[in-house]
Amino acid sequence: MIEFVEVTSGLQFPEGPICMADGSVILVEIARGTLSRVTPDGRIDVIAETGGGPNGAAIGPDGKCYICNNGGFSWSREGPDGEYMRPTGPAPGYSNGWIERVDLDTGEVEVLYETCDGHPLQGPNDIVFDSDGGFWFTDLGKRHPRRIDLGGVYYARADSSEIREVVHPLITPNGIGLSPDGKRLYVAETEPARVLAWDVTAPGELRMDPWPAHGGGDVLAAPEGYQRYDSLAVEANGNICVATLIRGGITIISPDGSSVEHLGLPDPMTTNICFGGADLEKAFITLSATGRLVACDWPRPGAALAF
């Protein structure tokens, strides 16, 4: 079990944490429909009301915050005392998801992409920028009462000039990240609980292996037992740290997939992790079912993000 301190509580299904230079952590509250800032003393300030279901978030080359908005969920409370919150399906009136940009100074929200090649985005989920200034993101798809829309991996430009579908279909692709040198792309699929990897050959381009490779990528890890993978972050040494649902905690996978370690946390909806502090040796983790942001000393430094 990870030893942690609670930074704040009372969040409405937090996700997409970003460590800022001033010591605060920006994150989304999916159920609240906001981009929020958590100060070091635990105060929660709303930066912008996005509506829908803001999910993954990342700072772009212009200093603005780019958000994958899944279009919104419906929610239920679980546990003996209703202490756990979880998404159960599309929000009433759901139509599609989108990619949006938030000005952190003014709170202005601008929608950049809602479709790709004429197909509506279903549930954009997680996002990572490369050093070229473009961003990779996953579309989880959407779970309906009797079907699940298949998802994929996309690449887009921050100036809203280009979006392309790079990998499709995948089964509930969720977390996404780049190796420290930017030459490998990692994606975690939620329902199968597996991590995939591709070689990046150019901005927005991947080397695709032929069938029967799943999605043209390498399967790095697919642990047994009932667990589900969510968002991820990468350590400076290349390890992939995947937030793990149901089992609760962070699963650490070596770059070649030969080593898999799990560090537990007391929340079945441990959804995301980011690194901060002077040497990127402090981890901030979203415990979404219980609405908390926690922090801990991490055994190794995280990889620096592009922006």
Cα–Cα nearest to 33, from 76, 3, 75: 75
Indicate if 218 belongs to the active site. no
238: alpha, beta or left? (left if phi > 0; alpha if psi -120 to 50): left
Helices (H) and strands (E) in the chain, counts: 0, 31
301 secondary structure, DSSP code: P
- Catalytic residue (choose from 41, 81, 105, 230): 230
Q: Is 237 labelled a binding residue? A: no
Tell me how far apart the alpha carbons of residues 149 and 119 are, in angstroms, rounded to a whole number: 12
Q: Is 105 labelled a binding residue? A: no
Q: Is 96 labelled a binding residue? A: no
Tell me how far apart the alpha carbons of residues 237 and 240 are, in angstroms, rounded to a whole number: 9
Residue 178, both tokens: 């780049």
Cα–Cα nearest to 168, from 141, 199, 203: 141
Instruction: Return binding residues for substrate.
Output: 125
Instruction: Return binding residues.
Output: 125, 174, 230
Q: Which residues are catalytic?
A: 230
Instruction: Return binding residues for a divalent metal cation.
Output: 174, 230
